[in-house]
Structure 1
Amino acid sequence: MYARGFGSTGVRVPVIGQGTWRIDSADRSAAVEALRAGIDAGMTHIDTAEMYDDGEAIVREAVEGLREEVFLVSKVVPGNATRRGVVRACEQSLKRLGTDRLDCYLLHWPGHHPLEETIAGFEDLRRDGKILSWGLSNFDVDDLEAALRIAGPYRIACNQVLYHLGERAIEHAVIPWCAQHGVALVGYSPFGSGEFPDPSSAGGAVLASIAQAHGTTPYAVALAFLTRLDNTFTVPKTVRAARAIENAGAADLVLNAAEIAMIDAHFPRGPRPRTLPML
């Protein structure tokens, strides 16, 4: 499993991890089996959040006995992101996850509480060893600049944002900003939340053709494209063990320049939007 440095943390993390949004809507045993299959295949970066209903509890079951192998990430909702609220929310996540620490803790999206308070709470948690690093989610460049002014350089570990073949807006400014400032870019919903290109479409046919050439799947081709840049990671979700193993294989798939150009032509990034897309 190919890994790279995760922002300023100094930790090497697999480029393809595992997301858990809505994982609790599936059969629980199947969800746990899929996460474990992914871990066994090298996808040890596990992403969850306090707002994912039973997601943290499912992750707890999946990583039981494997905690030291896993890079575990959770998120605090903005409504809880006061200085004290961040600490309380993190402690509750730790309890649900059955661990004494998070490898990274994120603010789920920008909220109304002052960012200075949120970051102070993150630093309190980091000082006490309850988190090893912290980051952000759904932050556009203006918000990232504000966080950088408050925290200083090399404190923001990552920014997690929407990124799939049909939504490449972050390539205009967010990815370059993160690369410039040593911030890992983690793309969520890399398969487009149920809108993956149909094989009968022109774009879908391109993915299928490239997949056939490499003896893999169109999903793996998409993941390889989305992690082609040096600071990018992605966290696909699946509740199927076989698909988890397929996803993991994408980490070692290297697309050539012609294949990247073909994908780029059929899934153009389009103009830069006024606001950052998010789910």
Structure 2
Amino acid sequence: MTPITIANALASTVTLNDGTVMPMFGLGVYRIDNNCSDLIAAALQQGYLLIDTAEFYNNEHSVGVAIKQSGKKREEVFVISKWWPSTEGAKGAMKSLDQCLKNLESNYVDLYMIHAPKDHHCADAYQALLDAKKQGKIKSLGVANFGVHHLEALAKLGLEKPSVNQIQIHPWYQNNDIVRYCREHNITVIGYSPLAKAKKIDETTIVAIAKKLSKSPAQILIRWSVQHGYVTIPKTSQEGRLKTNADVFTWSIPDEDMKTLDALGDQQWSCTWDPTKYSLEEAGLQVITIQQ
């Protein structure tokens, strides 16, 4: 039997509802310095296959540089980026997508998302991005921070359902209603902030389980997300943590400890903003007809 290594464990994938194959694990680069290409290249060389960036993160260019620096072919790396909604609507979305492709030095992005249901133009922008998908600029189209009512609104507007919804998920904020809806409608869930921005990493419950399993508290939180079947994108700015963050595939958290971690969700504690609560009016998803 071939031993499981970090590299081949990171090759685990999920097939999206449009047929695109996406890695189940990757590196999030939120608010990592714009000159973070060395870190990303190191991740790719260690076997990471997915990089999650965004217009708002201001480091799309570093991702493009890192792919070349790593020696990987463009098609070997799954790149996610996101449009930060603006009052320019569809025009702004297309402008940001074109800039994304220029930053990546690529003629496509694997997964492109609307970053949040805000600024009153999501329906028009989503339609424009669907057109860009038909043109091959986007392999898969998704959304981020969409609540159930936002996803239902897309369906009522007759728009193709997103392939992915990226939402905040960690033991203290599990968004079970959104997860349930996505799974019932074959929308893949990506959980961001699996480490809850390290704000509760020293909590007694986490430390006790980590000690019991001879793992780090960070590994416990990442494994919890992986074990629930979420696409997981832990962020680190330290190259030394790339390997330990990914070393979560050859062991599991016992059922009784998973139940203990799941119970933390009763706290409903969010480590960051929560646009899933925005109204349809704020999102621009109450529109009856979509401009072509």
1:10 aligned to which of 19, 42, 49: 19
1:219 correspondence with 2:218: yes
- Residue number in structure 2 paired with 1:229: 228
Secondary structure, counterpart of 2:181 in structure 1: helix
TM-score (ref. length: structure 1): 0.84
Secondary structure, counterpart of 1:46 in structure 2: strand
- State the identity %: 27
- Residue number in structure 1 paired with 2:142: 135
* Cα gap change, 1:263 to 1:87, in 2 (>3 Å): same
Which AA in structure 1 matches 2:149?
Answer: D
Alignment of 1:90-105 (within 5 A): 90-105=97-112
- Residue number in structure 1 paired with 2:183: 179
Alignment of 1:121-160 (within 5 A): 121-152=128-159, 155-160=161-166
1:85 correspondence with 2:114: no
- CA distance in 1 between counterparts of 2:88 and 2:16 reads 23
- Residue number in structure 1 paired with 2:170: 164
Which AA in structure 2 matches 1:250?
Answer: V
Alignment of 1:185-200 (within 5 A): 185-198=189-202
- Residue number in structure 2 paired with 1:76: 83
- CA distance in 2 between counterparts of 1:255 and 1:203 reads 13
Which AA in structure 2 matches 1:177?
Answer: Y
**5+ residue gaps, structure 2:** 1-8, 277-292
- Residue number in structure 2 paired with 1:277: 274
- CA distance in 2 between counterparts of 1:140 and 1:218 reads 29
* Cα gap change, 1:106 to 1:182, in 2 (>3 Å): same
- CA distance in 2 between counterparts of 1:73 and 1:103 reads 6
- Residue number in structure 2 paired with 1:256: 254
- 1:179-206 superposed Cα distances (whole Å, 9 cap, x missing partner): 01111111111111231421xx421322
- 1:50-101 superposed Cα distances (whole Å, 9 cap, x missing partner): 1112x11221221114222111111101106622322111000111111110
- Residue number in structure 2 paired with 1:268: 265
Deviates more, 1:122-131 or 1:63-72: 63-72
Give the CA deviation at 1:13.
Answer: 2.7
- CA distance in 2 between counterparts of 1:272 and 1:176 reads 19
- CA distance in 1 between counterparts of 2:226 and 2:17 reads 18
Give the CA deviation at 1:11.
Answer: 3.3
> Are the aligned partners of 2:143 and 2:166 in contact in 1 as well (CA < 8 Å)?
yes
TM-score (ref. length: structure 2): 0.81
> Are the aligned partners of 1:109 and 1:138 in contact in 2 as well (CA < 8 Å)?
yes
- Residue number in structure 2 paired with 1:40: 45
- Residue number in structure 2 paired with 1:205: 207
Give the CA deviation at 1:108.
Answer: 0.6
* Cα gap change, 1:149 to 1:278, in 2 (>3 Å): closer
Secondary structure, counterpart of 2:196 in structure 1: coil
Which AA in structure 2 matches 1:259?
Answer: D
* Cα gap change, 1:80 to 1:236, in 2 (>3 Å): farther
Which AA in structure 1 matches 2:236?
Answer: T
Which AA in structure 2 matches 1:12?
Answer: V
> Are the aligned partners of 1:197 and 1:203 in contact in 2 as well (CA < 8 Å)?
no
Which AA in structure 2 matches 1:40?
Answer: Q
* Cα gap change, 1:205 to 1:116, in 2 (>3 Å): closer
Which AA in structure 2 matches 1:121?
Answer: A
- Size of the aligned set, in residue pairs, is 262
- Residue number in structure 1 paired with 2:127: 120
Secondary structure, counterpart of 1:109 in structure 2: coil
- CA distance in 2 between counterparts of 1:191 and 1:263 reads 13
- CA distance in 2 between counterparts of 1:122 and 1:268 reads 34
Which AA in structure 1 matches 2:49?
Answer: T
- Residue number in structure 2 paired with 1:20: 29
